[in-house]
Amino acid sequence: MTRDIKNEKMIVSALKNGTVIDHIPPRNLFKVIALLDLDQCTSQMTFGTNLNSKLLGKKAIIKIADLFLEEKDIDKIAMIAPTAKLNIIKDYQVVEKRALCIPDVVKGIVKCLNPKCITNNEEVPTVFEVVERHPLTLRCHYCEKTVGQEDIVLR
């Protein structure tokens, strides 16, 4: 157990410049990889999963060299893995640690599940009001249907 945690620290600090996304629930790791289009990214990357975590029991981690995420992408991660933490690494040092925060209103990221919603039939950007944070529950501003964490699909 102590050895594992030590190893993780070594892996994290081995990044010179870039971003570490830590505390991802393991079952959401591949969703996060997909939403950030990391399969298209040419930077050096390390993925770890089912690592021990005091917070989650098991967690996954993504390290990406020379990549700093935009706010839009950070908001997307918050929708899929709200427990995740971001570490920004510059010159082997963690220069910024941030928890993800879910805004009160989510614009343009999430798809409405209702096939009869105007946003799925005309060119209308989606807007959701956050009804509950734990577990994440969103209500479509247009058709007024709610969607729970498990059913959230990104646009």
Note the residues at the interface with other proteins (CB under 8 A): 114, 116-119, 121-124, 140-146
> Which residue, 67 or 127, has its beta carbon nearer to other proteins?
127
Q: What is the spatial distance between Cα 129 and Cα 104, in angstroms, rounded to a whole number?
A: 6
Answer yes or no: are the C-beta atoms of 85 and 98 closer than 8 Å.
yes
Q: Shortest distance, CB of residue 149 to other proteins, whole angstroms?
A: 15
Q: Are strands 105-107 and 127-132 parallel, antiparallel or unpaired?
A: antiparallel
Q: What's CA 11's distance to the chain center, in Å?
A: 20
Q: Shortest distance, CB of residue 112 to other proteins, whole angstroms?
A: 8
Q: Shortest distance, CB of residue 13 to other proteins, whole angstroms?
A: 46
Record the tokens describing residue 91, joined without a space: 């010159």
> Which residue, 78 or 117, has its beta carbon nearer to other proteins?
117
